[in-house]
Amino acid sequence: MTDQQQPTNVETIRTEVRDHVGTITLDRPAQRNALTRGVLAEISQMLDSWGAEEAVRGIVLTGSGPKAFAAGADISELAGWTLTDGLAAPMQRLCDRIQDFPKPTLAALNGVAMGGGLELAMSCDIRIAADHATMALPEVGLGVLPGAGGTQRLSRLVGTGRALEMILTGRTLTAEQAERYGLVTTVVPAADLLSTAAEIMATVLGKGPLAIRLAKLVIGPGSDTDQRTGLLLEQLAQTLLYTTEDKAEGAAAFLAKRAPEFDGR
Protein backbone atom coordinates (compact mmCIF):
# COMPACT_ATOMS: atom_id res chain seq x y z
CA MET A 1 0.00 0.00 0.00
CA THR A 2 1.29 3.46 -0.88
CA ASP A 3 0.87 6.74 0.98
CA GLN A 4 -1.95 7.62 -1.41
CA GLN A 5 -4.54 5.15 -2.60
CA GLN A 6 -7.52 5.63 -4.87
CA PRO A 7 -10.90 5.60 -3.12
CA THR A 8 -12.66 2.25 -3.02
CA ASN A 9 -16.35 1.51 -2.66
CA VAL A 10 -17.91 -1.36 -0.80
CA GLU A 11 -21.71 -1.27 -0.50
CA THR A 12 -22.39 1.25 2.22
CA ILE A 13 -19.03 2.96 2.82
CA ARG A 14 -16.24 4.56 0.81
CA THR A 15 -12.61 4.27 1.86
CA GLU A 16 -9.43 6.10 0.95
CA VAL A 17 -5.86 6.13 2.23
CA ARG A 18 -3.85 9.32 2.01
CA ASP A 19 -0.71 10.33 3.91
CA HIS A 20 -0.97 7.27 6.20
CA VAL A 21 -4.56 8.13 7.17
CA GLY A 22 -7.41 5.82 6.24
CA THR A 23 -10.75 7.58 5.80
CA ILE A 24 -14.04 5.72 6.14
CA THR A 25 -16.97 7.65 4.68
CA LEU A 26 -20.46 6.40 5.51
CA ASP A 27 -22.15 6.42 2.13
CA ARG A 28 -25.93 6.21 2.39
CA PRO A 29 -26.81 9.92 1.95
CA ALA A 30 -30.41 9.24 0.93
CA GLN A 31 -30.91 7.50 4.29
CA ARG A 32 -28.85 10.15 6.14
CA ASN A 33 -26.12 7.51 6.49
CA ALA A 34 -28.24 5.46 8.90
CA LEU A 35 -26.42 2.52 10.43
CA THR A 36 -27.47 -0.98 9.38
CA ARG A 37 -25.90 -4.34 10.14
CA GLY A 38 -24.28 -4.10 6.73
CA VAL A 39 -22.68 -0.75 7.55
CA LEU A 40 -21.35 -2.08 10.86
CA ALA A 41 -19.92 -5.17 9.15
CA GLU A 42 -18.14 -3.13 6.51
CA ILE A 43 -16.61 -0.76 9.08
CA SER A 44 -15.45 -3.80 11.04
CA GLN A 45 -13.86 -5.27 7.92
CA MET A 46 -11.88 -2.08 7.34
CA LEU A 47 -10.68 -2.13 10.95
CA ASP A 48 -9.47 -5.68 10.34
CA SER A 49 -7.63 -4.61 7.22
CA TRP A 50 -6.16 -1.34 8.42
CA GLY A 51 -5.33 -2.59 11.89
CA ALA A 52 -2.79 -4.94 10.31
CA GLU A 53 -1.59 -2.47 7.65
CA GLU A 54 1.57 -0.60 8.67
CA ALA A 55 1.02 2.09 6.03
CA VAL A 56 -2.26 3.10 7.71
CA ARG A 57 -1.37 4.83 10.96
CA GLY A 58 -4.64 6.62 11.80
CA ILE A 59 -8.33 6.55 10.87
CA VAL A 60 -10.90 9.27 10.15
CA LEU A 61 -14.65 8.53 10.18
CA THR A 62 -17.03 10.88 8.37
CA GLY A 63 -20.28 10.85 6.38
CA SER A 64 -21.17 11.57 2.77
CA GLY A 65 -23.20 14.58 1.80
CA PRO A 66 -23.67 17.88 3.65
CA LYS A 67 -26.56 16.82 5.88
CA ALA A 68 -25.60 13.85 8.04
CA PHE A 69 -22.68 12.11 9.66
CA ALA A 70 -25.04 9.32 10.69
CA ALA A 71 -28.66 9.62 11.75
CA GLY A 72 -28.48 6.60 14.04
CA ALA A 73 -29.74 3.08 13.62
CA ASP A 74 -31.91 2.24 10.63
CA ILE A 75 -35.39 2.25 12.21
CA SER A 76 -36.67 -0.33 9.74
CA GLU A 77 -34.16 -2.75 11.24
CA LEU A 78 -34.71 -1.56 14.81
CA ALA A 79 -38.42 -2.39 14.55
CA GLY A 80 -37.56 -6.08 14.24
CA TRP A 81 -34.88 -6.32 16.91
CA THR A 82 -35.46 -8.77 19.76
CA LEU A 83 -33.96 -9.73 23.10
CA THR A 84 -31.41 -11.83 21.21
CA ASP A 85 -30.32 -8.80 19.19
CA GLY A 86 -29.93 -6.80 22.38
CA LEU A 87 -27.68 -9.44 23.91
CA ALA A 88 -25.61 -9.67 20.73
CA ALA A 89 -25.13 -5.85 20.82
CA PRO A 90 -23.37 -5.50 17.45
CA MET A 91 -23.25 -1.70 17.59
CA GLN A 92 -21.88 -1.66 21.11
CA ARG A 93 -19.23 -4.20 20.17
CA LEU A 94 -18.15 -2.12 17.17
CA CYS A 95 -17.92 1.05 19.28
CA ASP A 96 -15.88 -0.82 21.88
CA ARG A 97 -13.57 -2.00 19.15
CA ILE A 98 -13.07 1.52 17.81
CA GLN A 99 -12.35 2.83 21.31
CA ASP A 100 -9.77 0.07 21.82
CA PHE A 101 -8.27 0.38 18.32
CA PRO A 102 -4.48 0.67 18.68
CA LYS A 103 -4.21 3.50 16.16
CA PRO A 104 -5.60 7.04 16.67
CA THR A 105 -9.12 7.67 15.44
CA LEU A 106 -10.98 10.90 14.64
CA ALA A 107 -14.66 11.50 13.88
CA ALA A 108 -15.36 14.42 11.53
CA LEU A 109 -19.03 15.27 12.00
CA ASN A 110 -20.18 16.72 8.69
CA GLY A 111 -23.82 17.02 9.77
CA VAL A 112 -26.43 15.36 11.96
CA ALA A 113 -25.05 12.81 14.45
CA MET A 114 -27.99 11.18 16.17
CA GLY A 115 -28.30 8.10 18.35
CA GLY A 116 -25.92 5.43 17.11
CA GLY A 117 -24.22 8.00 14.91
CA LEU A 118 -23.21 10.05 17.95
CA GLU A 119 -22.26 6.87 19.81
CA LEU A 120 -20.00 5.92 16.89
CA ALA A 121 -18.36 9.35 17.08
CA MET A 122 -17.95 9.14 20.87
CA SER A 123 -15.97 5.91 20.49
CA CYS A 124 -13.28 7.81 18.55
CA ASP A 125 -10.33 9.47 20.26
CA ILE A 126 -11.04 12.93 18.81
CA ARG A 127 -14.24 14.56 17.54
CA ILE A 128 -14.51 17.68 15.39
CA ALA A 129 -17.65 19.14 13.84
CA ALA A 130 -18.82 21.32 10.99
CA ASP A 131 -20.49 24.46 12.28
CA HIS A 132 -23.93 23.33 11.07
CA ALA A 133 -23.72 19.87 12.69
CA THR A 134 -26.19 18.85 15.37
CA MET A 135 -26.14 15.89 17.74
CA ALA A 136 -28.41 14.09 20.18
CA LEU A 137 -29.23 10.78 21.82
CA PRO A 138 -33.02 10.59 21.24
CA GLU A 139 -33.51 6.86 21.86
CA VAL A 140 -35.86 7.19 24.85
CA GLY A 141 -38.41 8.64 22.45
CA LEU A 142 -38.48 5.22 20.77
CA GLY A 143 -38.83 3.37 24.06
CA VAL A 144 -35.19 2.26 24.16
CA LEU A 145 -31.96 3.78 25.44
CA PRO A 146 -28.57 4.59 23.89
CA GLY A 147 -27.27 1.03 23.80
CA ALA A 148 -23.98 1.36 21.93
CA GLY A 149 -22.12 2.92 24.83
CA GLY A 150 -24.04 6.19 24.97
CA THR A 151 -25.09 5.90 28.61
CA GLN A 152 -21.45 5.39 29.61
CA ARG A 153 -19.30 7.38 27.20
CA LEU A 154 -21.43 10.53 27.24
CA SER A 155 -21.20 10.94 31.02
CA ARG A 156 -17.44 10.50 30.87
CA LEU A 157 -17.17 13.21 28.24
CA VAL A 158 -19.65 15.84 29.51
CA GLY A 159 -20.40 14.82 33.11
CA THR A 160 -23.27 12.88 34.64
CA GLY A 161 -25.67 15.81 34.98
CA ARG A 162 -25.45 16.91 31.36
CA ALA A 163 -25.54 13.29 30.15
CA LEU A 164 -28.73 12.62 32.09
CA GLU A 165 -30.34 15.79 30.77
CA MET A 166 -29.39 14.99 27.16
CA ILE A 167 -30.52 11.36 27.31
CA LEU A 168 -33.73 11.86 29.32
CA THR A 169 -34.94 14.76 27.18
CA GLY A 170 -33.39 13.71 23.86
CA ARG A 171 -32.39 17.37 23.41
CA THR A 172 -30.44 18.27 20.28
CA LEU A 173 -27.18 20.20 20.67
CA THR A 174 -25.74 22.60 18.13
CA ALA A 175 -22.07 22.24 17.25
CA GLU A 176 -21.23 25.25 19.42
CA GLN A 177 -23.09 23.78 22.41
CA ALA A 178 -21.33 20.46 21.90
CA GLU A 179 -18.00 22.26 21.91
CA ARG A 180 -18.85 24.04 25.17
CA TYR A 181 -19.85 20.71 26.71
CA GLY A 182 -16.60 19.07 25.62
CA LEU A 183 -18.41 16.62 23.35
CA VAL A 184 -16.39 17.90 20.40
CA THR A 185 -13.07 19.72 20.59
CA THR A 186 -13.16 21.82 17.43
CA VAL A 187 -15.90 23.45 15.32
CA VAL A 188 -15.03 24.69 11.83
CA PRO A 189 -16.85 25.80 8.67
CA ALA A 190 -18.11 22.79 6.73
CA ALA A 191 -15.73 23.52 3.85
CA ASP A 192 -12.77 23.19 6.22
CA LEU A 193 -13.87 20.02 8.04
CA LEU A 194 -11.84 17.38 6.20
CA SER A 195 -8.76 19.58 5.82
CA THR A 196 -8.88 20.26 9.56
CA ALA A 197 -9.21 16.53 10.23
CA ALA A 198 -6.17 15.93 8.03
CA GLU A 199 -4.17 18.61 9.85
CA ILE A 200 -5.03 17.19 13.26
CA MET A 201 -4.16 13.65 12.19
CA ALA A 202 -0.89 14.85 10.63
CA THR A 203 0.01 16.44 13.97
CA VAL A 204 -0.83 13.25 15.87
CA LEU A 205 1.06 11.03 13.42
CA GLY A 206 4.12 13.25 13.76
CA LYS A 207 4.48 12.14 17.37
CA GLY A 208 6.03 8.94 18.69
CA PRO A 209 3.77 6.04 17.58
CA LEU A 210 4.54 3.94 20.65
CA ALA A 211 3.86 6.91 22.91
CA ILE A 212 0.53 7.49 21.14
CA ARG A 213 -0.46 3.86 21.53
CA LEU A 214 0.46 3.69 25.21
CA ALA A 215 -1.22 7.04 25.93
CA LYS A 216 -4.45 5.57 24.55
CA LEU A 217 -4.00 2.46 26.68
CA VAL A 218 -3.39 4.49 29.84
CA ILE A 219 -5.98 7.26 29.44
CA GLY A 220 -8.93 4.97 28.72
CA PRO A 221 -8.63 2.46 31.58
CA GLY A 222 -7.15 5.15 33.83
CA SER A 223 -10.33 7.21 33.61
CA ASP A 224 -12.33 4.22 34.84
CA THR A 225 -10.28 3.60 37.96
CA ASP A 226 -8.99 5.52 40.98
CA GLN A 227 -6.19 8.05 40.55
CA ARG A 228 -3.55 5.95 42.32
CA THR A 229 -4.14 3.02 40.00
CA GLY A 230 -4.17 5.36 37.00
CA LEU A 231 -0.86 6.83 38.07
CA LEU A 232 0.60 3.34 38.35
CA LEU A 233 -0.52 2.60 34.78
CA GLU A 234 1.10 5.86 33.69
CA GLN A 235 4.36 4.99 35.49
CA LEU A 236 4.55 1.54 33.92
CA ALA A 237 3.83 2.89 30.44
CA GLN A 238 6.48 5.58 30.84
CA THR A 239 9.00 3.00 32.04
CA LEU A 240 8.39 0.96 28.89
CA LEU A 241 8.81 4.03 26.69
CA TYR A 242 12.15 4.83 28.33
CA THR A 243 13.51 1.61 26.80
CA THR A 244 12.49 2.37 23.21
CA GLU A 245 14.36 3.67 20.19
CA ASP A 246 11.58 6.22 19.75
CA LYS A 247 12.47 7.80 23.10
CA ALA A 248 16.14 7.97 22.14
CA GLU A 249 15.27 9.50 18.77
CA GLY A 250 12.90 12.02 20.31
CA ALA A 251 15.50 13.25 22.78
CA ALA A 252 18.26 13.33 20.17
CA ALA A 253 16.10 15.26 17.73
CA PHE A 254 15.11 17.80 20.37
CA LEU A 255 18.74 18.41 21.36
CA ALA A 256 19.80 18.67 17.71
CA LYS A 257 16.88 21.02 16.97
CA ARG A 258 15.57 18.83 14.14
CA ALA A 259 12.35 16.97 13.44
CA PRO A 260 12.32 13.44 14.89
CA GLU A 261 12.13 10.39 12.64
CA PHE A 262 10.22 7.81 14.66
CA ASP A 263 9.99 4.20 13.51
CA GLY A 264 7.79 2.75 16.24
CA ARG A 265 10.47 0.76 18.04
- In the set 53, 54, 119, 199, the catalytic residue is 119
11 an active-site residue? no
Phi/psi at 73 (nearest 5 deg)? -70, 150
178 and 218 housed in the same domain: no
Contacts for 245-250 with beta carbons within 8 Å, 24 or more apart? 246/208, 246/209, 246/210, 246/211, 247/208, 250/208
Q: Looking at residue 194, what is its pLDDT?
A: 96
265 domain-assigned: no
Residue 190 CB-density burial (10 A; 0-12 exposed, 13-18 middle, 19+ buried):
middle
- 12, 50: one domain: yes
- The alpha-carbon radius of gyration of the chain (Å, integer) is 19
Same domain, 160 and 217: no
pLDDT bin (cut points 50, 70, 90) of residue 37 is confident
Measured distance CA(206)–CA(156) in Å, rounded: 28
**Cβ atoms of residues 34 and 73 within 8 Å:** yes
**How many other C-beta atoms can be found within 10 angstroms of the C-beta atom of residue 80?**
7
Q: Edge-to-edge, what's the strand order for the sheet holding 173-174? A: 68-70, 112-114, 134-136, 173-174
Does residue 262 lie within any of the structural domains? no
What is the structure's pLDDT at 265? 80
Strand segments, DSSP code E, in the chain are 4-9, 13-18, 21-26, 58-63, 68-70, 105-109, 112-114, 126-130, 134-136, 173-174, 186-188
Question: Is 60 a domain residue?
Answer: yes
CATH of the domain at 130: 3.90.226.10
Residue 193 included in any domain: yes
Q: Which domain holds residue 227?
A: 209-256
| 109 and 36 housed in the same domain | yes
Whether 139 is catalytic is yes
Domain count across the chain: 2
Better pLDDT: 228 or 108? 108
d(CA 16, CA 173): 30
Question: 154 with 246, same domain?
Answer: no
In this prediction, residue 5 has a pLDDT band, given cuts at 50, 70 and 90, of low
Task: Say yes or no: 52 and 82 in one domain.
Answer: yes
State whether 60 and 176 are in the same domain.
yes
Q: Confidence class of residue 144 from pLDDT cuts 50, 70 and 90? A: confident
- pTM of this prediction? 0.88
Q: What is the mean pLDDT of residues 180-197?
A: 96
Instruction: Identify the pLDDT of residue 132.
Output: 97
Q: Are residues 117 and 37 in the same domain?
A: yes
- Residue 217's domain is classified under what CATH number? 1.10.12.10
pLDDT at 120 over 60: yes
pLDDT at 10 (0 to 100):
57
Same domain, 117 and 226: no
Give a yes or no: residue 213 inside a domain.
yes
105/151 same-domain check: yes
Residues 59 and 93 in one domain: yes
- 216 and 151 both lie in a single domain: no
Smallest Cα–Cα separation from 71: which of 15, 119, 105, 129? 119
Active-site annotation holder among 54, 139, 176, 179: 139
